[in-house]
Amino acid sequence: MDMDIATTRQDVSGVVQVQPTQGDSSAKSPAKPGVSIVLEDKAQLRANPPKARSEGLNFWYGTNQALKNINLTIPERQVTALIGPSGCGKSTFLRCFNRMHDLQPDTRYEGAIQLRPDDINLVGKEVDPIEVRMRIGMVFQKPNPFPKSVFENVAYGLRLRGIGNKTELAERVERALRAAAIWDEVKDRLNDSALALSGGQMQRLCIARALATEPEILLFDEPTSALDPIATAKIEELISELRETVTILIVTHNMQQAARVSDFTAFMYLGELVEVDATSKIFTNPAKKATEDYITGRYG
């Protein structure tokens, strides 16, 4: 798999016109496609309707407002990256998508995250967080496989959904492990403890575990920050492949990773969305000065 994804796209796309319509507009704007891309090479045109859209999303930890009026479209089957300095709210925003904040006391959402195609509000009070988590998957920063066998790790999400049939489980587990590019390494070790794997393997196992339940969006929370460069490279490669089948939202503090892996990048600062654009454009010609300062390393 070709590693130079960003350059390839840049070569072919040539002229890329981007009309960002969020980040600086007023709160609850009516539904408009967030980002439209006009490409010269129509062969490269991918249908990227929105999969999810955050509209006027605000979030509080107690009295501390961590997210301020975020309006962002997540296109379907693309990789969208969230970058920004520490404390800018990117992980907080990510965790709104699968309601992980509900596990802490004293948290509050305002606004909406609309999920297509059925337009339910992921952060709505009337929506059950457990249901949300069954449709949206997550991979965490530090690999956290269960202290069970490789097979049982991947099968757990399926068992939760009532799938007990051995053949079906075996088939879906294998499919997930293949999709996570780890099948060959573990196919003879399915019943061995997952904790015996290396860090990179554990993380790919966690990806397989999340994929097994066929989520509609897959969230990655700094998935490679605890891994060595070789494992990191494998996972970045995997993420690029996965975009064919699932919408991906990835938080990373490593800008180069965002540049390598994502189609769209959103820059956040102090709880606000500053700018979002196609990755190629945002890293070469950002519209806002704040973005440019961050990207060029003026502040971390």
Residue ranges binding other proteins (CB under 8 A): 98, 100, 103, 105, 117-118, 128, 130-131, 133-135, 137-138, 140, 142, 144-147, 156-157, 160-163, 195, 206, 209-210, 213
Q: How far is the CB of 186 from other proteins (least distance, A)?
A: 18
Of 24 and 106, which CB lies nearer to other proteins in the complex structure? Answer: 106
Of 75 and 286, which CB lies nearer to other proteins in the complex structure? Answer: 75
CA 51 distance to own-chain centroid: 12
Q: How far is the CB of 162 from other proteins (least distance, A)?
A: 4
Can you tell me the distance from the alpha carbon of 23 to that of 37, in angstroms, rounded to the nearest whole number? Answer: 17
Q: How far is the CB of 161 from other proteins (least distance, A)?
A: 4
Of 16 and 163, which CB lies nearer to other proteins in the complex structure? Answer: 163
Give phi and psi for 28, each to the nearest 5.
-90, 80
**Helix 199-211 crosses helix 166-179 at what angle (to 10 degrees)?**
120
30, 23, 48: which is closest to 38 by C-alpha? 48
Contact 56, 111 (CB under 8 A): yes
- Check the CA dihedral 277-278-281-283 and report its sign: positive
Q: How far is the CB of 259 from other proteins (least distance, A)?
A: 27
Of 163 and 287, which CB lies nearer to other proteins in the complex structure? Answer: 163
Q: How far is the CB of 257 from other proteins (least distance, A)?
A: 21
Of 22 and 98, which CB lies nearer to other proteins in the complex structure? Answer: 98
Element (H, E) at 222: none
Contact 3, 261 (CB under 8 A): no
Of 47 and 103, which CB lies nearer to other proteins in the complex structure? Answer: 103
Give bridge partners of residue 251 from the DSSP assignment: 82, 221
Q: How far is the CB of 54 from other proteins (least distance, A)?
A: 19
Span between the terminal Cα atoms of the chain, in Å: 31
